[in-house]
Amino acid sequence: MTTVLMVDDNPADIEEMNVILTEAGYNTLTQPDGIHILDFLKSHPTDLIMLDLVMPKLNGIEILRELKRDFPNIPVIMCSAAGLEQVVALALRVGAAGYVVKPYKKQELLESIEKVTGKTT
């Protein structure tokens, strides 16, 4: 079973994504921010990370840089509201495997994950 780590400071966004992913057969883990994500990943094997772009303390780009340095083989899909094209372009240059716009559309979210993981639900 594919394990997806959802990193987002908004509980409603986490819940929305969690419902979609668990219904599709994914195992989910959550983190409310990226502060402790590197330590978390050492003890929680993860196949994919869904990472919010806009969070307090560390933003998604900063977290993505750390993830790509310490866990280069875990793909990361960035998540955020529309209208951040320049930030999305930066995230892709830094190493993001993809991008999903909030609010989540079930089919779009699942297709993005399947494209990155190569696994279908």
| Domain locations in the chain as residue ranges | 3-117
Question: What is the model's pLDDT at position 113?
Answer: 95
Check whether 121 has a pLDDT greater than 80.
no
Question: What is the model's pLDDT at position 108?
Answer: 93
How far is the C-alpha of 44 from the C-alpha of 52, rounded, in Å? 19
Where is 10: in which H helix or E strand?
A: none
Q: Write the burial class of residue 28 (CB in 10 Å: 0-12 exposed, 13-18 middle, 19+ buried).
A: middle
60-70 mean pLDDT: 95
Which tokens hold the place of 71?
Answer: 């866990």
**φ, ψ (nearest 5 deg) of residue 88:** -60, -45
For residue range 40-57, what is the model confidence (pLDDT) as tens digits? Answer: 999 999 999 999 998 888
Quote the Cα angle for 66-69-70, to 5°: 85
Check whether 83 has a pLDDT greater than 80.
no
Quote the Cα angle for 17-56-23, to 5°: 5
Question: What is the model's pLDDT at position 88?
Answer: 80
Pairing of strands 27-31, 3-7: parallel
Check whether 9 has a pLDDT greater than 70.
yes
**Mean model confidence pLDDT for the chain:** 92
Check whether 101 has a pLDDT greater than 90.
no
**CATH number for the segment(s) 3-117:** 3.40.50.2300
How far is the C-alpha of 69 from the C-alpha of 24, rounded, in Å? 30
Query: Regarding predicted confidence, which is higher, 121 or 14?
Result: 14
